[in-house]
Structure 1
Amino acid sequence: MSAVLAALRIARRNAWRSRGRSALIMVMIGLPVLVITAMFTLIDTMNVTGQEGMVAELGAADARLMQTPAGTVLRQEPNGASWGPGGDGAAAPSLGTAEVMALLGPGTRLIPFSTGVLRLGTEQVDALETDLRDPLTRGTLTLREGRFPSAREVAVTPALGLRPGDLLQASAATPLTVVGVVEHPHRPSLRQVVGPDLPLAPFDQFSSPGEYGTGWLADTAKPVSWTDVPTLNKAGLYVTSRAMITNSPRTPARAFDVQYMVGIGAMIVMVALETVLLAGPAFAVGLRRRRRELAEIAAQGGSAGHLRTIVLADGLVLGGAATIVATALGIGIGVLGAHVVAHWGGQVGPPDVPWSQVLGVAALGLVTGLVAALVPAVQAARQDTVTVLAGRAPAVADRPGWPLVGAVLVLAGLGATVVARRQPGSVRVLASAVLILLGLVVATPWLVGYTGRPAARLRLPLRVSVRDAVRHRSRTASAVAAVMAVTATVVAMGIGTYSDYMDRRNAYTSARPTGMLAIWAGNIGDAAWTRLRAETARRLPGVPLAAGYQAKDARGRRYALRYTMRWNGTRTRRTAAIGDQALLRLLQGRHDPQAAAALASGKAVVFDAAALRDGKLALRAGSTSGPPRKLEVPAVLATPADKHQGGALLPRALVEQAGFSTAERQLYAMHRLPADSTLWRDLAKVNSRVTIAAEEGYRNVPDAGLWGWLVGALVLVVGGTLAATRLAAADMRSDRATMAAIGAPPGTLRMVVAGQALYISVLGALVGLVAGTVTGVALSRPMTTHGTGDPATIAIPWPFVIAVVVGLPILATVAALVTRSRLPLARRLL
């Protein structure tokens, strides 16, 4: 029998004998493999390709055509579609069935396949107008219950919660009878009503071509290929066909991207490093339990290489088993998770496993198991056989060169971070952080020994804990380094994320205060504006409305009065409003006597200090149909209602003195519209040129991202600390038995175990705080600078940092304190 085969048999037998430790190691190695495999599988399964979604899109038809809005210039290409309003404003004619059939050629059969929305009281749902009984629609929707609808009947998707026999009351229409429940093959959360004659309403929000509008399914005599698309696009038709999907040219492979590869490499190193640091203590404890067995093998002629092979076989067996189980579970969880997530929103296709990525992750897990067992294997090869067989503890020799190597790596990482901080992109900073973490990992055994020196001044439970941690330095150093790596990563990402949030929040600016509703119209007449204003007052009863004005020259051409200034280091252009005291009161949120007096005297009231020069405001009057003009008007500075609010207000008299006439065309109010408000639709019925804007303020919040990182740190720090603590408790059985024998109470024994958790988590958190702060500060520059001259924003989320550095060690210590650790009876020689 070969030495490798014998080592594998010994490793398998030892793994089965120590099932608890083996399971712990397998969880530590397999958990990252499971999570990453599940993520890759879930993403690929939820990504429905054109081939996979072709039946749901086309049914049995050869092509689907959708009419685009009038005036849209459409161009479809294999790599995407572009659309926009026509330059000359010419509208493509609205086509009927006969015109579309003529474009597709003789032998074409069309059936309606139009999409829009159905208004059900205050809500609206997607609606599809087609006859599901037609063979061309076979496969677009699957019948789950009842039958397909005919005239004045509908089928609904399960998300609507209706059953056959229920009535559906659409707005301004007779009730529709539900006769069937249908399901989309890839979108289980879709809320849709389907029928052959629905009272469709147009979708009144932005949508891309092919989503909503009048459409058809086509059965053609010849395939609709890419050569036919330009002609159909020119007619205002968005096209999807079998020939286009099956013959779409492949996307060219992405050129080699150095930054992308560096980022992937840094991520792989971080995942492998964290896994090795978590699993390493378990292998170290296993080695100490097997010292006598390995010494007996050495006494019978086993070489140092044989001992290394036996310990490495542990890593191969446990890592291989963990990888196989985790890969299988990850694929299953990814496939099942895709269907669960799709019920909340999104789409799901057939099970799809990216085998190249999954096998790469599996290989990483296997290598991680071997690397985690590498240090114990080297220690096993170097152990003194006589000392072990005599029952004496082997002496732990410090290696003075390792702290120096760690210091060199840390200094190299710091230098690389300084250089990377001034480069575009954050990948280089993350790669530099890997060097710093590797250096700290190498220096961690020295840190453990150095911080253990004051143990003599501690109380008995903590003194025993710290001395045991220093005595078993390899086990402790791995656990401390694991906590340090997690803390450094989380603190760095927290600082970077929060700095990016603060930069965006500081850069946010608006010319209106939060909560203000603005309504304006384009170039309309006085009578049309009067009707629009009256309808607005009727729809907003009891809401005070302040008037705004637009400027026109003598020939009736509209002008916008703008000025340019710098806000938070960014060049910003604002349009000055024209109004009176009522609008000034809304913009300031209060009555300001000095600003009101300045406005009444004919001066502009400005809320941007950077825009004023010697009491003057420089304006540029611009028009789409007239020559531009430059103005310089007297102005005063005032305080706005909101911190991030800017803008300026011009009195009508000042604008009219400059040679313009003014006409009321805007309305402002401090009023928040409800989510189901139909104000825009109601006013659009009066005049289609109306525009409504509600100032909501800066809406992005960092809490979700930051506390998501905290949850991840909670699992890894507390879980890793408890795992290392349980291993330490198993190692300290003889010491705790001795303490119990001389009368130590159970609380003291628990404090000894909890002291290990406290020491490991606090030391790792403090070192990780320093490393994470350096990386986070460096990371904030590429994340918050957007061009030359833009200063970096550095912001530290103190509650988050305190929760990570202080809260997690306390939580880990409390968890270790309340965890029951049974102390078996120990046999003692008298």
Structure 2
Amino acid sequence: MSVFTGWRAALRIARRDALRSKGRSALVVAMIALPVLGVTAADVTYRSSTPTAAEKLTATMGSADAVFSSAGMGPVPVEQLPDLRTYGSPPGAPQPDSAPKPVDVRSAFPEGSRYITEQSVPATVTTRHGIANIEIVELRTSDPAVRGKLDLVEGTYPAGKDEVVATEHFLESTGLRIGSRTTLSGPEQTYTITGSVELHSELGASKLYADPGAVLAPWTAAAARDDKIVPPNPGDTKWLVQGAPGAGITWSDVLAANKKGVLVLSRQVALDPPPDSEVPMAARAGMGFPDGSAELSAAVVTVVAMAVLEVVLLAGPAFAVGARRSRRQLGLVGTCGGDRSQVRAVVLAGGVVLGGFGAVSGVVAGLGLTVLFRPLIEGWTENRFGELEIRPWELLAIAVIGLVTGILAALAPAIVAGRQSVLESLTGRRGTRRSSRVLPAVGCVAMAGGIAVAVIGGTTGNTNLVAGGSVVAELGVLACIPVIVGFLGRLGSRLPLSPRMALRDAARNRGRTAPAVAAVMAAVAGTVAIATYTASVMAEHEYDHIPMLTPGTAALVGSQPTEGDQLPLARAAVERNLAVSGGRADFGRVWAGSDCSVYYEEEDGCGTLEMVKPTGKGHSCPLQGPGARKLAEGLSAGAHKKLMGSPACVDEYIQAYSFDSGIAKIVVGDASVLTSYVKLDDPEAARALADGTPVLLNPAYAENGQVTLKSVHTYNERDTENRKLHPGTARTTTDRIKVYVAPGKYAATPGIRMILPKKTADRLGLHTQDYGSIYTVTHTPTDAEQQALQAAFAQAGDAAFLQTEQGAESRDEDVILLILALFAGVVTLGAAAITTGLAKADAEADLTTLSAVGAPPGVRRSLSGFQCLVVALTGVLLGTVAGIVPAVSLRLIDLREAMAAMRKEPMDSAYTPIVLPWETIGLLALVVPVLAGLLAAAFAGSRLKLARRAG
């Protein structure tokens, strides 16, 4: 019999066997199709969502040939690269003036060109909720040259000076719609929204588009007539240029424009750049840019390899069970003259049939899901796909990988089936085989060596060693799983019937249980590794985050001298429009000399007010000044964190990022500021303020219970009122005042070093003014609340603004952790379900015996549930331990880099924590295994039809 004839027979037998065992075949096809589906969807999504060079140019210039702009250096020669990644002055060129002359950009256009202009300006417009700060762009959106950059979604393009179109995000956030009218604050010009547009590369943009001359010209004219109107501050003008028909914008056109101080991004040049010898900047400097293709290829290979490993581990036991259930058929092949290679071919043919079907169905399903979820993906990325890019050769390669995966999964069962004697196959006896004693020993050595290599890689900063050591350690754990599963069988001697049988069944059938546990472990290990690293980075960011305000508060701050009832109106607006809880704490500002924050004068002649920090231990930060670098070199990350959090050092960096309470960070207030903002509920501190004693929040400024306050009383010529009150030459006063010193933990209060009673400020000859209020809010203001509040502020004279604390940005990391947990949970449930299904198919004879001897019907359900629970829980616990190794090693690399940065700049934080994601681990270790067990028990039948047990 020829090889072709033998394989044709084997394939026919495999096809019939797959149709005969539809449930087992469906499990194998599903496990092969799922990774193929995921890789196919990822490939098509990546190719479609990643803009090509041509699509990026279209998003920038529409259908025009080029974008011309001034280099900002005046009419002097410039140099640029063809794709405008960088530009500069040529060697020997004169340095541009501090105020360069304007450049006549239009003189650089090639003959026969046509153009349209694009210019944007920040503006404030009315909305349904109030007013909002947005960007208005003057661009003739109806011009064909704009197509591709911006397209109309609904309505019509502007047809007059009082019409605009809006992006969809602007309409959603402001509550407006097509036909609504919005007014530009300042010139009070009203526009009608005639349509909604979409920027393909900026779906989340909030902009208005008007024809050229519809916004800037009337705004400038209104500002010229009324000095109360602030003139517009537009950005640089861009020219979208279309060259002469059939000519485009060539490299010679670009060089000619560069000689006039004009930069050009040409579609023709960027897509087909000239050789470096014709590019002066590249020829002289040898410009080179890193190529990330190697890193991307390595990442793709790693992901594909992990997917193949998962499928082999999960589908392999299915083929093994199928081979055992077909052993009589395989024995008959042997009795008819078939040799061991032909028996192996029958089992391998099952991998070909099921792998091929799974690969094809996975590719088809991946394409269908990508098309189905395309709008959702575009919303996440805020970027429209171009064409749905399908690369047949890549999809064919993915399908081939799925086919090869099926064959690999059937390889080990085929080898085992080929070794069985014909007698064992015909009688159905499995025989007895001893477990390998060498493999666990090798696994333990590999695990210990891998951990050591990963830790060495972390301490030396070698990511390759980290990756290699982590993989070796995980493979070592994989080698030990059969022994671990065998040990589980000894733990059930004192357990009830169902868990005892589940543990013994898992130990007796290690060839089925161990791969499933390994698959769960591999998925959970990757998830725990990434989740641990992400949680650690989040904790580091949270520590490094410098808050502007204390949590749960918002600050209303005066932006200019208030007249009459402007600040009370602003306070009423906050209380009316925000979710304010509790009372209000008003505070004032204090200064000496002239109020230069109002007149915007130079510091000379304005006066100063500062708190003088004593020198010596406990007052001066050791991380500043001589010896700081040497001290930092000997500090651990924990010691550095503790020192940075001390009162002597915390004020050196945190106050620079807090809300605006004045240069000296001294506010005038009473006990309400303590309770609502500082969160200091201390009756003695409240009594001190009532008695006129300031409350000092940072003990580093105190010495013997006193603070030194240095005031320079100088008045500029415009400050006539205070010059009359305080005539004479400038004077400097230094006052030592008794203070109430708060505990050191309040030194990090953003924006405030000391709270000064007003009567004490008056006694010291300082100036005070009502400056703002602190509110306790239930949530960060929404877009609608911000717009309503901004409108109320405008009606109150724009005398104040609101500052809120956003907190450390961690929403992206939270989403990543959730996705990882869901992924690992799905794999765990799938692996446990497959193993339970195989155990059920493999143990029908044992279940029949249970029913025959009178076991209650519920035993069948509980046994299936505990079988599923054993696989899921064992895999999750081993995966958690294996996943911590690479995460810890990578954090050691981060610690090494942070320590190096701290030695260069002693004030830089070296805090590099290792935080375990207990929520993710708890979800995987508790919820998922229990859920898997309950689902297995629920779907397992409690009744079994009795049949005569063979053998």
1:287 positional shift: 1.2
Partner of 2:849: 738
2:808 alignment partner in structure 1 = 698
Partner SS state of residue 753, structure 2: strand
Q: CA deviation at 1:729?
A: 0.7
Counterpart among 151, 154, 159 of residue 150 in structure 1: 159
Residues 376-391 of structure 1: matches in 2 within 5 Å?
A: 376-391=413-428
Instruction: Give the match for residue 920 of structure 2.
Output: 800
Query: SS at 1:452's partner residue?
Result: helix
Correspondence 1:630-709 to 2 at 5 A:
638-639=742-743, 645=749, 649=753, 667=772, 669-670=774-775, 674-675=781-782, 676-677=785-786, 693-700=803-810, 703-709=814-820
**How far, CA to CA, are the matches of 1:608 and 1:274 in structure 2?**
59
2:50 paired residue among 29, 47, 59: 47
Select 1:242's aligned residue among 257, 267, 274.
267
Quick one: structure 1 residues 186 and 772, their matched pair in 2 at CA, closer, same or farther if it must change by over 3 Å? closer
Q: Is the contact between residue 540 and residue 911 of structure 2 (CA under 8 Å) also seen in structure 1?
A: no
Offset, 1:325: 2.7
2:526 corresponds to 1:517? no
| Equivalent-residue separation in structure 1 for 2:465 and 2:746 (angstroms) | 38
Tell whether 2:583 aligns with 1:547.
Answer: no
**What per-residue deviation string (whole Å, max 9, x for no partner) do you get for residues 513-536 of structure 1?**
232426476xxxxxxx42489744
Who is 1:196 aligned against? Answer: 211
Q: Figure out how many residues of one structure are paired with residues of the other and give that number.
A: 798
Q: Deviations over 1:273-294 (max 9, x none)?
A: 2222221221111111121222
> Alignment partner of 1:826: what SS?
coil
Partner of 1:605: 696
The answer on whether the counterparts of 2:118 and 2:238 sit within 8 Å (CA) in structure 1 is: yes
The superposition leaves residues 639-660 of structure 1 with CA deviations (integer Å, 9 ceiling, x where unpaired) of 489796467625889x99xx99
Aligned residue runs from structure 1 range 203-242, under 5 A: 215-221=238-244, 223-224=248-249, 240-242=265-267
1:191-221 CA-to-partner distances (Å, cap 9, x unmatched) read: 766553796599xxxxxxx997755433345
Aligned to 2:363: 327
SS in 1 for 2:54: coil
What's the offset of the Cα at 1:349? 1.1
1:507 to 518, 540, 544: 544
Are residues 705 and 166 of structure 1, via their aligned partners in 2, closer, same or farther at CA, if it must alter by over 3 Å?
closer
Give the 3 Å change call, closer, same or farther, for CA 486–132 of structure 1 in structure 2. closer
Contact 1:417 1:775 in 2 (8 A): yes
Could you tell me which residue of structure 1 aligns to residue 840 of structure 2? 729
Deviations 1:364-383 (A, max 9, x none): 43443233222212211221
Contact 1:606 1:647 in 2 (8 A): no
Cα distance in 1 for residues equivalent to 2:793 and 2:98? 26
Deviation of 1:21 (Å):
1.9
Matched, 1:282 2:321: no
- Distance 1:432-1:363 versus aligned 2 partners, 3 A rule: farther
The verdict on how the C-alpha distance between 1:241 and 1:662 changes in structure 2, with shifts beyond 3 A counting, is farther
- Give the distance between the partners of 1:301 and 1:29, measured in 2 at CA: 33
Stretches of structure 1 that go unaligned for 5 or more consecutive residues are 203-209, 522-528, 622-630
CA contact (8 A) 1:433 1:775 kept: yes
The match for 2:106 is 101
**Is residue 2:174 matched to residue 1:171?**
no
Aligned match of 1:811: 931
Deviation, structure 1 residue 817: 0.7
Runs of at least 5 residues in structure 2 that lack an aligned partner in the other structure: 89-94, 220-232, 276-286, 576-583, 594-602, 614-619, 624-639, 656-663, 712-733, 903-909
- Cα distance change on mapping 1:226 and 1:267 into 2, 3 Å: same
Output the amino acid matched with 1:306. Q
Cα gap change, 1:200/1:21 in structure 2, threshold over 3 Å: closer, same or farther? Answer: farther
Is the contact made by 2:251 and 2:274 (CA closer than 8 Å) also made in structure 1?
A: no
- 1:815 positional shift: 0.6
Q: Using the alignment, how far apart are the partners of 2:850 and 2:890 within structure 1?
A: 49
Q: d(CA) in 1 for partners of 2:105 and 2:470?
A: 61
Q: Which residue, 654, 667, 672 being the options, matches 1:579?
A: 667
Judged with a 3 Å threshold, the aligned counterparts in structure 2 of structure 1 residues 755 and 132 are, in CA distance, closer, same or farther, namely closer
Residues in 2 aligned to 1:508 and 1:633: alpha-carbon distance in whole angstroms: 34
Tell me which amino acid in the other structure corresponds to 1:300. C
2: CA distance, partners of 1:616 / 1:427: 57
Structure 2 contact 589–771 (Cα < 8 Å) conserved: yes
Once the two structures are overlaid, the 10-residue window that deviates more, 701-710 or 745-754, is 701-710
Gap change, CA 1:819 and 1:234, over 3 Å in 2: farther
- Summarize the Cα distance change of 1:662–1:781 in structure 2 as closer, same or farther, 3 Å threshold: farther
Residues 1:231 and 1:260: Cα distance change in structure 2 (over 3 Å): same
Matches of 2:610 and 2:297, distance apart in 1 = 49
- Structure 1 residue 59: deviation in Å? 4.1
In structure 2, the partner of 1:110 is: 115
One-letter amino acid matched to 1:577: K
Query: How far is the alpha carbon of 1:483 from its aligned partner?
Result: 2.2
Deviations 1:336-355 (A, max 9, x none): 43344225633221122466
Give the deviation of 1:474 after TM superposition. 0.2
Letter in 1 for 2:842: D
- State TM-score, norm by structure 1: 0.80
SS of equivalent residue, structure 1 residue 273? helix
Amino acid paired to 1:578: I
The one-character-per-residue Cα deviations of 1:80-104 (angstroms, maximum 9, x if unpaired) are 3699xxx999566788xxx543343
Residue in 2 aligned with 1:769?
880
CA deviation map 1:753-782 (0-9, x unaligned): 222112222322333333334454444444
Q: Is the 8 A contact 2:667 2:752 kept in 1?
A: no
Q: After TM superposition, give the deviation of residue 334 of structure 1 in Å.
A: 3.0
Question: SS of the residue aligned with 2:183?
Answer: coil
User: After superposition, what is the alpha-carbon deviation per residue over 1:438-493, rounded to whole angstroms, capped at 9, x for unaligned?
Assistant: 12222212222222134443333333333332332201111122222233333333
Q: Supply the RMSD in Å over aligned alpha carbons.
A: 5.1
The residue aligned with 1:627 is none
CA contact (8 A) 1:781 1:793 kept: no
Segment of structure 1 superposing worse, 685-694 or 333-342: 685-694
Measured after TM superposition, the shift of residue 662 of structure 1 is: 7.7
Deviations along 1:165-195, whole A, 9 cap, x unmatched? 9622112668766666666667777776655
Deviation at 1:690, TM superposition (A): 8.9
CA distance in 2, matches of 1:138, 1:257: 32
CA change 1:261–1:187 in 2 (3 A) is closer
Q: Deviations over 1:522-581 (max 9, x none)?
A: xxxxxxx42489744432237654223467876448798898566556686334513344
Distance 1:696 1:225, change over 3 A: same
1:592-617: CA deviation from partner (whole Å, max 9, x where unpaired): 566679999998934477x9899899
The Cα shift of 1:240 comes to: 4.5
Decide whether the 8 Å contact of 2:669 with 2:756 is kept in 1: no
Cα deviation 1:10-64 (Å, max 9, x = unaligned): 3334333333322211211221221122123212212223412544543443334
Whole-angstrom CA distance in 2 between matches of 1:171 and 1:248: 46
Q: Is 1:399 matched with 2:408?
A: no
- Alpha-carbon distance in 1 for matches of 2:156, 2:604: 67
Structure 1 equivalent of residue 599 of structure 2: none
Q: CA deviation at 1:722?
A: 1.0
Number of the residue aligned with 1:205: none
Which residues of 2 match residues 754-793 of structure 1 at below 5 A? 754-782=865-893, 786-788=897-899, 790-793=910-913
2:484 aligned to which of 447, 451, 464: 447
Moved more, 408-417 or 180-189: 180-189
Question: Contact 1:604/1:648 (CA < 8 Å) preserved in 2?
Answer: no
Matched, 1:7 2:6: no
**Which secondary structure does the structure 1 equivalent of 2:373 belong to?**
helix
Q: Secondary structure at the match of 2:182?
A: coil
How much has 1:246 moved relative to structure 2? 2.6
Q: 2:471 is matched with which residue: 426, 434, 439?
A: 434
Q: Which amino acid aligns with 1:196?
A: D
| SS across alignment from 2:523 | helix
1:628 alignment counterpart: none
Distance in 2 (alpha carbons) for counterparts of 1:89 and 1:223: 33
